[in-house]
Amino acid sequence: MPLSYRALAGTFCAIAGLVVIFAMGAEVRVRDLDLILPAGCGAFLGGAVAAGFFGRLGAEGCAFAVIGAVLATALGAAVGGIVSGIWQGPTLIGAVYGPVMVGWAIVSLPGVAVAWVLSMTAVHVAMYIATQGRAMSA
């Protein structure tokens, strides 16, 4: 898979990750930047890793997109959790705490769930449009 494809998926997932972090209640202010910036970087990395799951056609493509969305979200939240130090400084426990916090927000807050579903659907559609529907091997 071309590096440009991974970078594009990473960029789209970073935007989706920022939509979700703002839906979770973060605001653009200095106090929240230590959470927002790692979340965006983690989402970029998660999207780059899961790039092959997005942009495929049909029901199978939608199933792949769901797997890719969950993978990108979990990886992005893990990286964000480690880097942001949300659990008493940057430790590996953030790799567990980050995905648990994001997953809990998606499950328990309807607004966050809607933001996540719509933004990850947009990633899938944008990757389809970017590749003009060409099949990409995972």
Whether residue 35 contacts residue 87, with contact meaning beta carbons closer than 8 Å, is answered with: no
According to the model, what pLDDT value does residue 67 have?
97
The sign one gets for the Cα dihedral 129, 131, 137, 138 is negative
Specify the DSSP class assigned to residue 29: S
User: ∠ at Cα 47 (44, 48), nearest 5°?
Assistant: 85
pLDDT tens across 62-113, in order? Answer: 999 999 999 999 999 998 888 877 656 667 888 888 899 999 999 999 999 9
Mean pLDDT of 106-133: 92
- pLDDT for position 37: 85
Residue 135 has a pLDDT of: 52
Between these two residues, 138 and 8, which has the higher pLDDT value? 8
Q: State the pLDDT at residue 138.
A: 47
| Predicted local distance difference test score (pLDDT) of residue 28 | 65
Q: pLDDT tens digits for 22-49?
A: 898 876 666 667 778 888 899 999 999 9
Judge contact between 84 and 38, C-beta under 8 A: yes
Q: Alpha-carbon distance 36 to 132, whole Å? A: 32
The confidence score (pLDDT) of residue 111 equals: 93
